[in-house]
């Protein structure tokens, strides 16, 4: 499947570009409300494209950090639940430099997917 072109990521990007560059400007002149909704749709497709392209590696990095931080194996969901439990219980807080490094890296990966121009 990896040899099939265009990839899912490429298709999502092409659709987002078409909507943003061609369709939105026409809708803005004819029906501004639909132009706004088209921009939202194009941005959503761009987020999906970045998630398709960047998400698996971001998840793998997060999982590796959680395993090191918590000192145990598990799924990403399980380890995140355990970290949340520890935070709620007060077992970890902002004085834990490994925790803060993990959270900063996780947030950076999520922002790269959601809105890479944010800084």
Judged against a pLDDT cut of 80, whether residue 59 lies above it is answered with: yes
Question: Per-residue pLDDT tens for 61-116?
Answer: 999 999 999 999 999 999 999 999 999 999 999 999 999 999 999 999 999 999 98
Torsion of CA 47, 8, 60, 3, to 10 degrees: -160
Percent of the chain with pLDDT over 90: 89
Please, which pLDDT band fits residue 2 given cuts at 50, 70 and 90?
low
- The residues, any chain, with a CB within 8 Å of residue 6's CB and separated by 6 or more, are 14
Domain boundaries, given as residue ranges, for the chain: 8-114
Asked if 82 and 63 touch (Cβ cutoff 8 Å), the reply is no
What average pLDDT score do residues 50-58 get? 96
- The residues, any chain, with a CB within 8 Å of residue 108's CB and separated by 6 or more, are none
- Which is it for the CA torsion 5, 48, 44, 111, positive or negative? negative
């Amino acid at each position: 499947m990896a040899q099939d072109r265009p990839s899912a990521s490429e298709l999502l990007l092409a659709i987002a570009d078409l909507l943003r560059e061609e369709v939105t400007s026409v809708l803005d002149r004819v029906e501004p409300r639909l132009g706004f909704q088209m921009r939202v749709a194009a941005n959503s497709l761009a987020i999906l494209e970045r998630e398709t392209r960047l998400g698996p590696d971001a998840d793998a990095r997060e999982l590796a950090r959680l395993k090191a931080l918590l000192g145990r194996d598990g799924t990403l969901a399980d380890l995140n639940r355990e970290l949340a439990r520890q935070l709620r219980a007060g077992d970890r807080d902002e004085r834990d430099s490994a925790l803060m490094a993990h959270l900063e890296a996780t947030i950076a990966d999520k922002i790269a997917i959601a809105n890479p121009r944010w800084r």
